[in-house]
């Protein structure tokens, strides 16, 4: 597979089985498409439908006015692309129906496959950091004092349970058992 397309480095997605993924996407030009509760409701409805349909188990997800972050477990890597196409396509169509003027290019990205970013989580530390980052979005953006109080941050799996299960499933990119990881570094 070529690394470049039309002289530019190609944006690549990961399609690995049984991995913890961090996924994020932003609207084109940061347009606040999810400012209304109705638009947010559409996002959550579609998110729940397609993550369930494609066996993605979200640990924590946060939706802001123009972007979202989620971290979770994906059983079959090849399901990522279809899940994201359905999620983003249906959200763009339904939210556009609410807007006074349609936004043809709803999600950010200039090239093929750049409507979202995904990455496989390497280890426990990265998992905890991504989880905390997602959990605190409401506070980071000044919407609430405590990120846990933000209505549009949803916790589906507690971080300790998520990490433990990821180790049981060998779902971190670098693998390793819980005992190996805990003895090889101090947990701070």
Full-model pTM: 0.85
* Cα–Cα distance for residue pair 36/16, rounded to 1 Å: 35
* Cα–Cα distance for residue pair 93/78, rounded to 1 Å: 24
Question: For residue 87, what is the enclosing H or E element?
Answer: helix 80-96
DSSP β-bridge partners for residue 20: 73
- Cα–Cα distances in Å, from 85 out to 39, 46, 81, 125? 18, 11, 6, 30
CB 109 within 8 A of CB 159: no
- Cα–Cα distances in Å, from 6 out to 105, 111, 113? 21, 10, 14
* pLDDT at residue 108 in the model: 82
What pLDDT tens digit does each residue of the chain (188 aa) get?
Answer: 555 556 654 556 778 999 999 999 999 999 999 999 999 999 999 999 999 999 999 999 999 999 999 999 999 999 999 999 999 999 999 999 999 999 989 998 655 456 789 999 999 999 999 999 999 999 999 888 988 889 999 999 999 999 999 999 999 998 544 433 333 332 22
């Amino acid at each position: 597979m070529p690394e470049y397309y039309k002289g530019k480095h190609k944006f690549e997605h990961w399609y690995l089985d049984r991995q913890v993924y961090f996924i994020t996407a932003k609207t084109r030009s940061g347009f606040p498409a999810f400012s209304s509760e109705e638009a947010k409701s559409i996002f959550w409805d579609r998110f729940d439908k397609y993550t369930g349909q494609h066996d993605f188990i979200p640990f924590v997800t946060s939706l802001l006015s123009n972007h979202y972050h989620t971290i979770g477990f994906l059983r079959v890597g090849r399901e990522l692309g279809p899940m994201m196409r359905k999620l983003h396509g249906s959200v763009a169509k339904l939210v556009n129906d609410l807007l006074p003027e349609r936004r043809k290019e709803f999600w950010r990205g200039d090239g093929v496959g750049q409507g979202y970013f995904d990455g496989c989580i390497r280890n426990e530390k990265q998992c905890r950091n991504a989880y905390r980052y997602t959990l605190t979005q409401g506070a980071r953006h000044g919407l609430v004092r405590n990120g846990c109080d933000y209505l549009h941050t949803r916790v589906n799996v507690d971080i300790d349970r998520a990490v433990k299960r990821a180790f049981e499933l060998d779902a971190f990119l670098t693998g390793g058992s819980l005992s190996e990881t805990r003895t090889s570094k101090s947990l701070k």
